[in-house]
Amino acid sequence: MTWVLVAVGGAAGSAVGALLMRRPTGTRLLLATSVVCGLTGMLSAQLLSPKLTAVFGYGVLGSAASMVTMAVVSPMWVGGDAPVRSTVAVTKKLAVHCVVGVTFALLGYLAVRGGATLYKKLT
């Protein structure tokens, strides 16, 4: 049953990712990366039901993240030195997206954990 929920979430995530990536610009890609990774960090800190985690976490966010990654990687093979240049360009883009993703995943995780800790201390 869990795999069916992941598949349903994956279909929804692919649709969301396709809508977000219709005209990919650098800003839109970084924003999509930060939102997806921030939500993933928030979801990992929250204790939710396994069914909701399967649909939203693994399905929707996993598919949307893969759509963003595919939009980032757009090499152009023209000329003799083009493979080296495009490999370097793609590596730089992916490095920036990894740093942004890790940062926002950590911020999302800390927001939920910090909020839960503050709520427990205040009550």
DSSP 45: H
- Cα separation, 108 vs 87, in Å, equals 31
Residue 106 has pLDDT above 80, yes or no: yes
* Cα distance between residue 49 and residue 41, in whole Å: 16
Q: Which 3 state secondary structure label does DSSP give 78? A: coil
pLDDT tens sequence across 48-73:
777 777 777 777 777 766 666 666 65
Task: Report domain extents, the chain.
Answer: 2-122
Q: What is the mean pLDDT of residues 97-104?
A: 87
Is the model's pTM score more than 0.85? no
Residue linked to tokens 């926002």: 104
**What per-residue confidence (pLDDT) applies to 68?**
65
